[in-house]
Structure 1
Amino acid sequence: MEFPVSAESIAALVQGAAELEATAVGLRPHRLPTWARARGDAQLKLAESQPAGVRIAFTTTAPRVTLTALATRFGYAGVPPRAPGVFDAVVDGSVVASASLGSAVVVTLDMSTGRTTTTQAEPEALTFDLGPDDGTARRVDLWLPHTESVELVALAADAPLRPAPAAERTWLHHGSSISQGSNAATPTGTWASIAARAAGVDLVNLGFGGSALLDPFVARVMRDTPADLVSVGVGINIVNGDVMRRRAFTPAVHGFLDTIRDGHPDAPLLLVTPILCPIHEETPGPGAFDVAALAEGVTRFRATGDPAEVAAGKLTLQVVRTELARVVRDRRDANLHLVDGLSLYGPADAAEHPLPDALHPDAATHRLIGDRFGAAVFAPGAPFGG
């Protein structure tokens, strides 16, 4: 006997999203509320609609569950497309099945003309084997793709589904595409998901590709989002976007943290400095695609700034780390802690774990970063140790 789940009931099962938009097809999870999306640019709107860290969480005795969904994938003309997004089924903490939609709406931007083309697709059903029914209710988390937007159309199972309980603690994190999970193979394989699952906390992932820019409205969202643990990773997008100078950067970090503290005055708060990125350690932005690599079918980035301009206030990752350490020192906040990104991925790791596109870690390196973050931050006596 099949137990279909209504759209309203699907909404009750979703965790890690700010809101669900009702579309003509189904429900689209968003990681920022409507008012905040209205204040962002196209890049941020694209990134926040990709449901990194969002999952459908329930308990059931069902041996199978079927999710019908429609994905929207974004790419650039002339740039190799990303692999299709992955849905992970996790039963009582273990990944038991993964699947991708065979087709999707594809939006392609031609950077030379600014024009986009869009293909069409229909929703598809994905069935996940959860293991035999032994009469015992199990917790199931269906992790949604971190690299493509998804509309949830229908959900059905062989037994009733009930909302899964929340964890004792919620971790709210904001960062760049690395926090969103760029180049990780699966949604449970992003470094933030790895650390959260190992620690047994609920993750709210506000990692936005290209968009960790100290936007005041993102700080307000974080201020108003219930959380027990809060962290902010900042630096790489500021540098590779070339959007600030040192004079503006440091006060902007203070302002961002001030707003978060308005809503979370005593929560453990981490300021995470950038991991190693050799192209931007001593060279400012802006960053750009490596055109020669693209001609060979390889996606790679490069820094185009002039190191001589650092003296005049241009930012590099080395400058950013120095300024972030100064922010933590000057604030004299006993619950504010600095996490050195180089301790998560640093010069000693570059030979064995090179960044394949010169900017983002690969799947194995996400695992390395997630494990190290968990050991440093969630261990007994550490800032998130409980």
Structure 2
Amino acid sequence: MTVVTDPRSAAPLEEPAEARSRTRRYLVWFAAAFALVAAVRVVTGADDISSAGALRAALIAAIPIALAGLGGLWSERAGVVNIGLEGMMLMGCLGAGVFTYHYGILAGILGAIMFGAVGGALHALTTVVFGVDHIVSGVGINIAALGITGFLAEVFFAGLPGGGRTQSPSLSRPPALTIEPIADAAADIAGKGWFLISDIAAVVVVLTRNLSVLTILALLLVVFTGWLLWRSPFGLRLRSCGENPSAAESLGVNVYRMKFIAVTVSGCMAGLAGAFLVLVSSSGYQNNMTGGLGYIGLAAMIFGNWRPAGLMIGASLFGYTRAVELRGGADSLHALLLLIAIVLVVMAVFQLRAAHTRKGIVYAVIAAGFLAWFLLTDSVAPDFGSAAPYVTTLAVLAFASQNLRMPAANGLVYRRGSVG
């Protein structure tokens, strides 16, 4: 890898051309996956797997995962493992419910960010200042958040009209963007069933009809994070703290401050993910409504190799399989078998080309099993749809594991003046 070095940091920097090449590679993979879904739709006749409704459901399912993963990215690029994202999301959910009900949508979003920031600052205090093991601190935050939100939900919502001990009343939704002429024309093309063209038109419908401002904000945050962490001096200093904090300190970087900022911002992102769950994914707050999405966000971040673009692809993958399961069509679930089989074949080919014969054979055998399942059956039990998102996440993590490189000092306790 071609690298250059900033005079204020020992962390290597990629050349712009290399970064652009990686972005193009991500885009090619995304386009290939989209074309594969379109082909499976045509072959199986399961039109719903790439309909505007399915893609909208996939986007709504992917955004909180992406925001949680973005929080993990900020924290881990500064060298702090943040397994407490789940708890910070729960805090954000509660903040969104309380502040939205009493003060409106904007206050609800800000309240969710504030509640998440409290969790992030607590994690920073325990890990950066007191040197507590990062995993222990994160697990503690998750457990504490589960109890605190359950208690405070009863305090805030019990007795309110439509509320209860475990849930808030129905809440207003954030405003949404609709560009009616474009959306109508795209919907007409999407209904034609043409290969790839109709599928692209369905994407246009999703992006131009009833698109929540929170969705737009989340997508902008992914782009902004990529620019800030990889194209600015601040981002270079922050990433240097996750690669070699001692070298960064010797060159004038305040490592403690950078880590504290990064982990607090991580909590803000997780809190915003909680706000999305409360205000967009559902119509109000419920206890423990995150359902493990914070952990899935971490998995998406790892799948994306600690980078925003790859993270978004991982979140989209989980969101898509989750959307197919939620929409629940028998034809869609059956078509998903063929889609998984083809993906596993591709994974097997890549493993064999990389001389990983054993892994390649394993993937090929599993692919043959899914293909046989598709050919020999006409329907799939709904339980498969419930498990598909999690099985898919594990599969892609196993596939990508050999090419992953986390920040070198990630998870290590840092003390000023230490060497190495």
Range class of TM-score, shorter chain: under 0.3
Larger relative helix fraction: 2
Larger relative strand fraction: 1
| TM-score in terms of structure 1 length | 0.27
The structure showing larger relative contact order (alpha-carbon pairs under 8 Å, at least 6 residues apart) is: 2
